[in-house]
Structure 1
Amino acid sequence: MIPIREFAGQYVAVFGLGRTGLATVRALQAGGAKVHAWDDNPVARERATEQGFDLVDINKRDWQQYSALVLSPGIPYRYPEPHRLVQMARMVGVEVIGDMELFARAVNAMPEHSRPKIIGVTGTNGKSTTTSLIGHVLKKAGKDVRVGGNIGIGVLDMAPLHANAVYVLELSSYQLDLCESLKCDVAVLLNVTPDHLERHGGMQGYINAKTRIFDNQSEKDLAVIGMDTMPTQILMAKMAAKRHQRCVGVSSTYALGRGVSAVHGRLFDSQSGRAMMIGDLSKIQTLPGAHNHQNAAAAYAACRGVGVDATVIMEAMATFPGLAHRQEVVGKVGGVTFVNDSKATNGQAAVQALKSYPKVYWIGGGVAKSDGLADVRPFYGHITKAYLIGEAQKQFSRELSDDVPHMNCGTLKRAVAEAMHDAANSGDEDPIVLLSPACASFDQFKDFEARGDEFKELVHGLMSDTERLRATV
């Protein structure tokens, strides 16, 4: 835990008692603050109470006593309209911040020579893989590394701060919106495509939130910017011209004259102006596809930025175990391979998986984003048949129309069964059933992890059924 001492002896309101909220309560209390914690969701309150937390309904308190409101990232801060408690805090001059801001202030309060290194990673897609990959490489390189933030454990639940540590933080746009003081030694922005626009007032607001990761950097710091989306290309040009910090472009689409490129799976470092081949990413089974090659290029640039040798980086990447719910191969049933990509909560993310396989039996649906299947449409040719679930099934059925054979399955259980039947009887060589929903999950599941876990359970059930059938023959 990282104790937060800034508010020692003062009253602080914490609203939202998920993973990050509970970590915030613990950190503030450890630093001597008087914490009033609350959540509008009775299930979250019950869970917090069971864990020993004392709750106070901050809706009924005098807000002039509070020094700050610490808001969980999932609660509306600006758009589509501020939550009523945010409005209440603003009315009485109480600052509204997030857990990442508390972390940043704790770091900034330390003498400069005692501060840990901070590597921040954001982007619409790929940030979890890139964050985990950087952490894996640094651990293999012998660094005292801690990985968390929007992935794994909350930032304030991480081990205490000290000079030799490296904190590798996945940062969502929601977290960045609530953070003013974070200074990253290495800041990574992978890509920007439309997502969460309702929470940021449109595309420009979303871009502004993402690019806050570069705020507070100095000429000693490194910005790693993916060059495969137009907004990030424009940003790179602007930042490179200002020369406020060192900038390195990374790409799996272009062979960069200066930067880090993954060309046909081969990783090249041309930061010096001369391209050197570093290794072959296509041999790493846990990093399939061009999108993962860009993630690897970004991880390489970040790790080089904190002094890790190129050879050490490639050796470590070769042992990367991959992430659950990100193109995770669950297993084979009767020759049919099942791939869990439940983390694909928008069309652009689903495209990355579809691009990795020439033909799939695709399971999609849930709560659709505003652009539906617009990003997926150019890759309809990769879909042999679609099996649609959740709220989006009717919309997706209209979008697929006569272009892609499809059926409305409603539930994931039925979709898995139908896809298994069709793939097993297709006569295809090595058929693949891919769950890559292009949708949020909260119509039928708590989160994308729960959706992916159910998919894996269903596949494991099919595997058990197959084993039982073999045993009776």
Structure 2
Amino acid sequence: MITIYKYQDQKVGVLGLGKTGSSIAFSLLYGNTKVMAWDDNFKRITSGCDIIDLFCNSAITTGQLVVNNNDYIERIKDLKAMAVSPGIPHTHPVFAKAVEEGVPIVSDIELLQSTCPRADYIAISGTNGKSTTTALIAEILKTTKKEVEMGGNIGVPVLDLAPLDERGVYVLELSSFQLDLLCQHRFNVAILLNITPDHADRYKNFSEYKAAKAKIFDNQTCDDFAIISIDCQNTKELYNTIVSKNVQKVIPISTAIRVAGGVSVIEGTLYDDIDEMNVESFNLGHLVGLLGRHNAENIAAAYSASKLAGLAPSVIVDAIRKFRGLPHRMETVKAVGDLTFVNDSKATNADSAKQALDYCNDIYWIAGGLCKDGGIEQLSVLFGKLKHVFLIGASEEQFAQVLDKYDVTYTKAGNIQNALELIKRSSPQKGTVLLSPACSSLDQWKNYEERGDAFKEIVHRLWSQ
């Protein structure tokens, strides 16, 4: 855990007491900060207990905590800073009041960097692939004597990590919501994988979303590196812009063409052209934990970052080959004869689901939930691979209309349990039962992890009978 002493004996606000907000509050309280916290859900449940009890029953003996339910908003003017959870919209009245009063807005990322300024920072973002890339980089770096801490949007609040000095490196997955909050940040290595439409409920337009992603490169200097995919038109435009500014060193990555001064992964071969005088290539072979063509981009980014951190290419490639992947991302759950069950619950948008559909064949697709972008029509080019679709969640009707348009057979199953029971009764002998929802889980589950765990549990129960 990181203890924040920067605001000792001063008043700091915390807006939002979810996982990240609670982490910020604890870090400030242990540093003897007087914390005033706001949360719209006054009875928010955290780790099975009321948020007030969580703090009052903790080992905190210093500091002071006041939790408000949008009360005492006028007291914001007395705050030294306002720390905001990334999920809080900037239209929130407490956020707006802090801005109006000139109270500095801070994030947990900036609090971490100000407390551990001597460590190195590798930041990863992108609409899809950032969790896998983050985990892969952390695993590669752990093969050295470096101290490595991984957190951020991947599930561990950064202030819950251990403090590091110049011998350590933080590997941080950052969402657009987290990047939105940053101002006084600087990453030694910043990676942007791709930008496709997402979070339409948060941003006024796609341009605003792209601008949030681009903030990952702000404040870099000539000593820093920007790693950017040039396969996506949106990131390629940003690559050209950053190169033209001639500030940080820019490393292009691609899965389509070999790039001078960069890294490419094409049809299972990695080409290292970072040093154009000493070009290397590696046959990656079959990578169990990095299935699908989309993982080529993740590999190129992870290899680039690891080489810039000083690792030998052969060491990096060996670690890539040993990587076993992340839960809930193209995760093989069970095989019954020629029928394979794959948990891709982390596919919370259509672009992410496309990668799974592209890789699998003879698919019994479980799809649906809370749709947060343009739906699944963009996936129609892959509908020929579908044996049957089982629709679940809030998007059932929306997705059914698209499937009707393309004459795809489907069943409105309602939930994962019903979908799997229907598949069990139909007794398919081969193919892939794929949970790749193309939707958020929040209509029926707390998060995609809970959704994926339920899928795995039901599969093992039904197919063990």
TM score, norm. by length of structure 1: 0.91
User: Shift of the alpha carbon at 1:202?
Assistant: 1.0
- Matched with 1:284 is 287
User: Shift of the alpha carbon at 1:379?
Assistant: 1.5
Partners of 2:338 and 2:373 in 1: CA distance: 36
Partners of 1:13 and 1:63 in 2: CA distance: 7
Higher helix proportion = 1
Alignment partner of 2:252: what SS? strand
Q: For the aligned residues, what is the CA RMSD?
A: 1.7
Q: Which amino acid aligns with 2:79?
A: Y
Alignment partner of 1:133: what SS? helix
Q: Is 1:361 paired with 2:361? A: no
Q: Which amino acid aligns with 2:260?
A: G
Residue 408 of structure 1 is aligned with which of 412, 416, 433? 412
Partners of 2:172 and 2:378 in 1: CA distance: 28
Partners of 1:49 and 1:443 in 2: CA distance: 27
Residue 177 of structure 2 is aligned with which of 167, 174, 179? 174
Alignment partner of 2:298: what SS? helix
Q: Which amino acid aligns with 2:15?
A: F
Q: Is 1:208 paired with 2:216? A: no
Alignment partner of 2:293: what SS? helix
- Matched with 2:37 is 37
Alignment of 1:102-121 (within 5 A): 102-107=111-116, 110=117, 115-121=118-124
User: Shift of the alpha carbon at 1:266?
Assistant: 1.1
Alignment partner of 1:289: what SS? coil
Alignment of 1:74-473 (within 5 A): 74-77=87-90, 82-107=91-116, 110=117, 115-273=118-276, 276-333=279-336, 335-401=338-404, 402-422=406-426, 424-425=427-428, 427-428=429-430, 431-465=431-465
Query: Do the aligned residues in 2 keep the contact of 1:345 with 1:441 (CA within 8 Å)?
Result: yes
Partners of 1:293 and 1:271 in 2: CA distance: 17
Q: Is 1:56 paired with 2:56? A: no
User: Shift of the alpha carbon at 1:282?
Assistant: 4.3
Higher mean displacement: 337-346 or 3-12:
3-12
Query: Do the aligned residues in 2 keep the contact of 1:17 with 1:37 (CA within 8 Å)?
Result: yes
Q: Which amino acid aligns with 2:6?
A: E
Alignment partner of 1:261: what SS? strand
Q: Which amino acid aligns with 1:102?
A: L
Alignment partner of 2:294: what SS? helix
Q: Which amino acid aligns with 1:71?
A: V
Alignment partner of 1:439: what SS? coil
Partners of 2:209 and 2:268 in 1: CA distance: 30
Alignment partner of 1:409: what SS? strand
Alignment partner of 1:176: what SS? helix
1:304-358 per-residue CA deviation (whole Å, 9 max, x = no partner) reads 1111110000111111121111111111235421100000000000001111113
User: Shift of the alpha carbon at 1:39?
Assistant: 2.0
User: Shift of the alpha carbon at 1:275?
Assistant: 8.0
Alignment partner of 2:163: what SS? coil
For structure 1, list consecutive stretches of 5 or more residues without a partner in the other structure: 466-473
Partners of 1:280 and 1:351 in 2: CA distance: 26
TM score, norm. by length of structure 2: 0.93
Alignment partner of 1:395: what SS? helix
Partners of 1:124 and 1:47 in 2: CA distance: 33
- Matched with 2:9 is 9
User: Shift of the alpha carbon at 1:58?
Assistant: 5.7
Aligned residues between the structures:
451
Q: Is 1:65 paired with 2:71? A: no
Higher mean displacement: 8-17 or 339-348:
8-17
Query: Do the aligned residues in 1 keep the contact of 2:290 with 2:325 (CA within 8 Å)?
Result: yes
Query: Do the aligned residues in 2 keep the contact of 1:420 with 1:433 (CA within 8 Å)?
Result: no
For structure 2, list consecutive stretches of 5 or more residues without a partner in the other structure: 57-64
